[in-house]
Amino acid sequence: MGKNPFPPLTEWLEAKAAKIAMLEEKARISLHEEQDQARYKQLMLEKASLLATLADEAAPFTAQLPQPTRNMVEEGLARFSHSAMVAKRVGSVFYMSALLYPEDHRPGEKNDLEIFMDSVRQAAKSA
């Protein structure tokens, strides 16, 4: 039996999610406490850039996954990356800030990346 391909992927995703959370917290402080809109925009652009490369950077991890889980994971990551690329192309700071958050999101609830990570963990248990 081969090595379980899920732990490297989930650890990588957790690190990316933590980086995004840190960027969002810094952005929140920049905007609401420091009133520094330029810094806020810079941090949102960094968040969007990180998300835009998610699918490509995950390729070495997803290549090891069994089907049909591999397709599910690759498609989910591609959606995150595509949305972020559109946000960057449009140049909308609002769009960048809304990445990962549905319209009805409430503070304290998981964002879309965290929910996606839960689905990857569930798939790992089922594999």
Q: Which amino acid, 17?
A: A
Given this model, what pLDDT does residue 55 score? 97
- Asked if residues 95 and 118 have their Cβ atoms less than 8 Å apart, the reply is no
For the chain, report the end-to-end CA distance as a whole number of angstroms: 13
Round the average pLDDT of the chain to a whole number and report it: 95
Q: Can you give the pLDDT at residue 126?
A: 84
What sign for the dihedral angle of Cα 33, 37, 40, 44? positive
Residues 45-90 have pLDDT tens digits of: 999 999 999 999 999 999 999 999 999 999 999 999 999 999 999 9
From the DSSP assignment, how many helices (H) and strands (E) are in the chain?
6, 0
Q: What is the pLDDT of residues 2-56, one digit of tens each?
A: 689 999 999 999 999 999 999 999 999 999 999 999 999 999 999 999 999 999 9
> Mapping DSSP to helix (H, G, I), strand (E, B) and coil, where does residue 60 land?
helix
Locate all alpha helices (DSSP H) within 31-103, ordered by sequence.
37-52, 54-62, 69-90, 93-98
Indicate if the pLDDT at residue 1 is higher than 50.
no
Residue 70 has φ and ψ, to the nearest 5°, of -55, -50
The interaxial angle of helices 54-62 and 69-90, nearest 10 deg, is 170
If we measure between CA atoms, which residue out of 84, 72, 82 comes closest to residue 116?
A: 72
Q: What is the pLDDT of residue 127?
A: 74
